[in-house]
């Protein structure tokens, strides 16, 4: 698949800014207009329920997702109430975002509702600990693409390389997840990290950190970044997450 010209320029500029020693003031407001109009009542659901570790950066994730949604003429609704996962209520949303959810957050009927929503063409975005969620639900593991295995202690600094971008790599400091297996054969890998930069990587020379795929009738996009609150202020991460939201919401055909 080939990326549309509308999305190439903003992200390339952001990556170059992040790689430069000069100050960069770009933020989500610099991105281009959406390719299509989602309609006056189009919305996304941001879900942040946790049944395990709770990330301090969840408020920053919710705030950024709201800003990104607004820029795309989408309404953003945030909840930790799993009872919204019914066929009738999910039908209101163009995409569902699991932002650092952890553990067993949906019961059986709620799981079936999400499955039906995706099979009906819905979109999903997983941020960071979305991969540390619902280990007893194989379908969900397939939706996210890979499950969390471990992470090095503390925050680590590494180079993130976007596989389709000729721009310089992006230096990021965050909690870098190792996954139970490499999802490359199941998904389209968008970005990798370089384990030579830090201690504690377990995946070797090919360590995906963001990917997307068509799944069971719907669309799924995932990034392993997003542990540290500071990353939500980074223009490269903002453009990265905007890309995922546009794909999941059906505003871009290509992820």
Domain parsing of the chain, residue ranges: 5-31+41-248
Please give the pLDDT value at position 40: 56
The pLDDT tens digits for 155-203 are 999 999 999 876 678 999 999 999 999 999 999 999 999 999 999 999 9
The pLDDT value given to residue 6: 33
- 157 burial (CB, 10 Å; 0-12 / 13-18 / 19+) is exposed
pLDDT, position 41: 76
Q: Which pTM does this prediction carry?
A: 0.86
Taking the C-alpha atoms of residue 61 and residue 39, their distance in angstroms, rounded to an integer, is: 24
Q: State the pLDDT at residue 72.
A: 96
Q: What is the pLDDT along the chain (255 residues), one digit of tens a residue?
A: 322 333 333 333 343 343 333 334 334 433 333 344 566 579 999 999 999 999 999 999 999 999 999 999 999 999 999 999 999 999 999 999 999 999 999 999 999 999 999 999 999 999 999 999 999 999 999 999 999 999 999 999 999 999 987 667 899 999 999 999 999 999 999 999 999 999 999 999 999 999 999 999 999 999 999 999 999 999 999 999 999 999 999 999 999
The secondary structure of the chain as a DSSP string is ----HHHHHHHHHHHHHHHSSS-----GGGSPPPSS---TT-EEEEE--BSS---TTHHHHHHHHHHHHHHTT-EEEEE--GGG-SHHHHTT-SEEEEES-BB----HHHHHHHHHHHHTT-EEEEEGGGGGB-TT-HHHHHHHSS-EEE--SS-EEEEEEETT--SPPEEEEE---EESS-GGGTSEEEEEE-GGGSS---STT-EEEEEEEEETTEEEEEES---SGGGGG-HHHHHHHHHHHHHHTTS-S--
Q: What topology is assigned to 5-31+41-248 in CATH?
A: Rossmann fold (3.40.50)
> How many Cα atoms are found within 13 Å in the side-chain-facing hemisphere of 172?
33
pLDDT at residue 38 in the model: 63
The first and second tokens of residue 198, run together, are: 């830090």
pLDDT reported for residue 165: 76
β-bridge pairing 43-47 and 95-99: parallel
Q: What is the pLDDT of residue 21?
A: 32
Report the pLDDT value the prediction gives residue 34, as an integer from 0 to 100.
Answer: 38
């Amino acid at each position: 698949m080939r990326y549309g010209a509308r999305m190439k320029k903003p992200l390339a500029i952001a990556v170059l800014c992040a790689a430069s020693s000069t100050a960069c003031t770009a933020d989500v407001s610099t991105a281009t207009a959406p390719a299509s109009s989602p309609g006056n009542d189009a919305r996304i659901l941001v879900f942040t329920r946790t049944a395990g570790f709770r990330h301090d950066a969840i408020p920053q994730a919710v705030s950024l997702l709201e800003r990104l949604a607004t820029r795309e003429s989408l309404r953003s609704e945030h909840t930790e109430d799993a009872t919204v996962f019914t066929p009738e209520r999910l039908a209101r949303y163009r995409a569902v975002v699991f932002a650092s959810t952890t553990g067993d957050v949906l019961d059986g009927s709620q799981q079936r509702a999400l499955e039906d929503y995706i099979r009906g063409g819905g979109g999903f975005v997983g941020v960071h600990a979305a991969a540390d969620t619902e280990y007893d639900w194989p379908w969900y593991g397939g939706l996210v693409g890979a499950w969390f295995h471990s992470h090095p202690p503390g925050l680590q600094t590494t180079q993130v390389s976007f596989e389709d971008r000729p721009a310089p790599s992006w230096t990021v400091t965050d909690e870098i997840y190792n996954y139970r297996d490499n999802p490359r054969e199941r998904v389209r890998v968008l970005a990798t990290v370089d384990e030579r930069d830090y201690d504690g990587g377990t995946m070797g020379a090919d360590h995906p950190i963001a990917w997307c795929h068509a799944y069971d009738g719907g669309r799924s996009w995932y990034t392993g970044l997003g542990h540290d609150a500071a990353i939500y202020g980074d223009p490269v991460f903002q453009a990265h997450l905007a890309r995922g939201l546009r794909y999941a919401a059906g505003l871009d055909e290509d992820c």
